DNA sequence: GTCTATACGCAGATAGAC
DNA sequence: GTCTATCTGCGTATAGAC
């Protein structure tokens, strides 16, 4: 949730719609074009308001971008915490994580590439973000280590396992335009492939660690 | 290989150094900042030549970028053809493909994100490129289909298999800054993880398709 | 081929009326 | 809060001397 919204909600309820419109428009344009490619004019047009308004609400393009970016990256680690904290088995949790990831990315398919690109450009933002909210890496590692000790899963580096999961879930979204072109398939067919992966990926992952 | 080099080599050998310097500098800057983020001045500075020279050799920023991009994307599908065309078994070929990919990306770790980003922005370039050189998707599919018929591998969609391979090989490079930050590990440790994946990835893939 | 100086347009940002 | 008009700087691109 964007804390700035809360501020304005307290100050004046009337400001919410305009600001929401701006944020929604900015999201679309930034996700599509990236920080540098995006134009304030495009955002204003898409929001149906004046360009000057953007500067009224968010002092600068940089600030507006940072707001969007921070909000977006928080969606990278969605309900992982709740899944990890549940009382399911390790295998069930892993499957749920994969499916949750793919499900969420289907809603926001442009997120991965956006975040990867900007994370690459500006490590600063990442550091700022971790200060607030660390991704639940520890909980994940602990789960795996525990399952290893209980002889349920093979000896494996949790980081490698995490990398495998993230790769298999996220990459197909980041590489969509490229892969779709290479395979020469329609948008719809590609979506079907993704849908299919909700079964394939967990299978693949679990099979690889099961003892 | 950049065909433009060849042209100049024929016309005048003296021009090669300046042009090489430009291309080398442009590569670095474009890979780092992307098309929009890159500045012609930065490229000129890095090349140790004048900004006007860039326009002398490559009429516009767009043209210079396209040159770099086209050259870069050709490295995406490296010696796949020679591997696929060899007389190894399907399993051996798959392992070789994984290792070849990771090996090559270790040389040019910035390539994946660059290509994914720009492919996302400009499908035009991709279409132009495929006109020249299609990636060996058909050869790959045929190999898998054949192995399926011979009961060596499970029934599986070759596209999904390819997606898995590419995901596991490429994503860790595209997500390096992010993952390194999340895991809180050094550049060196991350490199070690990647190195380890030359064993892990083929294992994982082959295990998943072996009957 | 290589340089300096400069033109030109665009995009971010502000001033100020309403 | 919202608008129009305007400033400013930067980045691409060109002109033209050497």
User: Do residues A201 and A98 make contact, with C-beta atoms less than 8 angstroms apart?
Assistant: yes
Please, what is the average pLDDT of chain B? 91
Residues B153 and B72 in one domain: yes
SS3 content of chain A, % helix, strand, coil (to 5): 80, 0, 20
Yes or no, beta carbons of B113 and A115 under 8 Å apart: no
Mean pLDDT of B130-152: 91
Residues A203 and A187 in one domain: yes
Distant-in-sequence, close-in-space partners of B144: CB < 8 Å, separation ≥ 6: B90, B153, B156, B158, B161
**Rounded Cα distance, A21 and A12, in Å:** 16
Smallest Cα distance from A29 to chain B, Å: 12
The residue of chain A with its CA nearest to that of B174 is: A116
Using the 3D structure, point to which of B59, B75, B106 is the last residue of a domain.
B59
Q: Strand C: which nucleotides have any atom within 7 A of a protein Cβ?
A: 1-5, 11-16
Q: Is the model's pLDDT at B7 over the cut of 50?
A: no
Phi, psi of B155 (to 5 degrees): -65, 120
CA distances in angstroms from A29 to A8, A26, A42, A114, A143, listed in the order given = 23, 5, 7, 11, 39
Distant-in-sequence, close-in-space partners of A60: CB < 8 Å, separation ≥ 6: none
Q: CB atoms < 10 A from the CB of B163, how many?
A: 22
Residues B111 and B55 in one domain: no
Yes or no, beta carbons of B200 and A127 under 8 Å apart: no
**Rounded Cα distance, B71 and A126, in Å:** 31
pLDDT digits (tens, 9 = 90+) for A80-95: 889 999 999 999 999 9
User: Do residues A144 and A157 make contact, with C-beta atoms less than 8 angstroms apart?
Assistant: no
Q: Which residues from B are below 8 Å from A35, CB to CB?
A: 37
CA B87 to chain centre: 25
Is the model more confident about B125 or about B30? B30
Residues A37 and A96 in one domain: no
Q: Which residues from A are below 8 Å from B133, CB to CB?
A: none
Smallest CA–C1' separation from B48, nucleotide: C2
Which of A68-72, B1-5, B65-69 shows the lowest per-residue confidence on average (mean pLDDT)?
B1-5
The separation, in Å, between residue A160 CA and nucleotide D8 C1' comes to 51
Q: CB atoms < 10 A from the CB of A56, how many?
A: 14
Distant-in-sequence, close-in-space partners of B49: CB < 8 Å, separation ≥ 6: B18, B21, B22
Smallest Cα distance from B120 to chain A, Å: 6
Residues A31 and A93 in one domain: no
Residues A103 and A133 in one domain: yes
Q: Is the model's pLDDT at A169 over the cut of 50?
A: yes
**Rounded Cα distance, B145 and B151, in Å:** 10
Print the domain residue range for B161. Answer: 66-209
Q: What is the pLDDT of residue A16?
A: 66
Residues B24 and B116 in one domain: no
Distant-in-sequence, close-in-space partners of A100: CB < 8 Å, separation ≥ 6: A78, A79, A80, A83
> Which residues numbered 29-88 in A keep a CB inside 8 Å of some CB on B?
33-37
**Rounded Cα distance, A94 and A84, in Å:** 9
Q: Strand D: which nucleotides have any atom within 7 A of a protein Cβ?
A: 1-5, 11-16
**Rounded Cα distance, B101 and B79, in Å:** 9
The secondary structure element, H or E, covering residue A6 is helix A3-11
Yes or no, beta carbons of B135 and A182 under 8 Å apart: yes
User: Do residues A174 and A108 make contact, with C-beta atoms less than 8 angstroms apart?
Assistant: no
User: Do residues A54 and A22 make contact, with C-beta atoms less than 8 angstroms apart?
Assistant: yes
Q: Is the model's pLDDT at A132 over the cut of 90?
A: no
Residues B185 and B101 in one domain: yes
Question: The CATH number of the domain where B14 resides is what?
Answer: 1.10.10.60
Q: Which residues from B are below 8 Å from A34, CB to CB?
A: 34, 36, 117, 121
Is the model more confident about B7 or about A121? A121
Using the 3D structure, point to which of B39, B59, B79 is the last residue of a domain.
B59
Q: Is the model's pLDDT at B174 over the cut of 50?
A: yes
Q: What is the pLDDT of residue A9?
A: 45
Q: What is the pLDDT of residue A126?
A: 86
Yes or no, beta carbons of A126 and B179 under 8 Å apart: no
Of B119, B130, B160, the CB nearest to A200: B160
**Rounded Cα distance, A185 and A177, in Å:** 10
Residue A13 approaches strand D within 7 Å at CB = no
Which of helix, strand or coil describes residue A153?
strand
Q: Is the model's pLDDT at A38 over the cut of 70?
A: yes
At A1, the pLDDT band (50, 70, 90 cuts) reads low
Phi, psi of B210 (to 5 degrees): -65, 140
Q: What is the pLDDT of residue A13?
A: 44
Residues B74 and B148 in one domain: yes
Q: What is the pLDDT of residue B38?
A: 98
The reply to whether the predicted model has a pTM over 0.75 is yes
Is the model more confident about B145 or about B126? B145
Residues A117 and A202 in one domain: yes
Residue B47 approaches strand C within 7 Å at CB = no
SS3 content of chain B, % helix, strand, coil (to 5): 80, 0, 20
Q: Say how many domains are in chain B.
A: 2
Of B35, B115, B204, the CB nearest to A208: B204
Residue B43 approaches strand C within 7 Å at CB = no
Is the model more confident about B61 or about B1? B61
Smallest Cα distance from A20 to chain B, Å: 26
Smallest Cα distance from A162 to chain B, Å: 10
Q: Which residues from A are below 8 Å from B182, CB to CB?
A: 130, 135, 137
Q: CB atoms < 10 A from the CB of A54, how many?
A: 22
User: Do residues A110 and A32 make contact, with C-beta atoms less than 8 angstroms apart?
Assistant: yes
Question: The CATH number of the domain where A91 resides is what?
Answer: 1.10.357.10
Using the 3D structure, point to which of A10, A30, A59 is the last residue of a domain.
A59
Q: What is the pLDDT of residue A15?
A: 56
User: Do residues B80 and B162 make contact, with C-beta atoms less than 8 angstroms apart?
Assistant: no
Residues A139 and A183 in one domain: yes
pLDDT digits (tens, 9 = 90+) for B148-168: 999 999 999 999 999 999 999
At B15, the pLDDT band (50, 70, 90 cuts) reads low
User: Do residues B110 and B31 make contact, with C-beta atoms less than 8 angstroms apart?
Assistant: yes
Residues A108 and A179 in one domain: yes
């Amino acid at each position: 949730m964007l804390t700035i919204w809360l501020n304005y909600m307290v100050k004046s309820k009337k400001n919410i719609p305009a600001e929401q419109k701006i944020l929604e428009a900015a999201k679309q344009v930034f996700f599509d074009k990236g920080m540098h490619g995006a134009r304030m004019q495009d955002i204003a047009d898409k929001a149906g308001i004046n360009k000057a308004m953007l500067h009224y609400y968010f002092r600068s393009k940089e600030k507006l971008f940072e707001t969007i970016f921070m909000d977006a990256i928080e969606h990278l680690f969605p309900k992982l915490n709740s899944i990890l904290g549940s009382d399911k088995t390790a295998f069930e949790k892993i499957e749920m994580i994969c499916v949750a990831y793919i499900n969420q990315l289907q809603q926001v398919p442009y997120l991965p590439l956006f975040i990867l690109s900007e994370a690459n450009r500006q490590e600063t933002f990442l550091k700022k973000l971790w200060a607030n909210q660390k991704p639940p890496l520890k909980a994940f590692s602990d789960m795996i280590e525990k399952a290893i000790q209980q002889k349920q899963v093979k000896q494996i580096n949790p980081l490698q396992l995490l990398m495998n999961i993230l790769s298999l879930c996220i990459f197909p979204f980041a590489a969509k335009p490229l892969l779709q072109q290479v395979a020469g398939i329609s948008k719809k067919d590609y979506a079907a492939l993704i849908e299919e992966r909700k079964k394939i990926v967990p299978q693949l992952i679990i099979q690889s660690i099961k003892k």
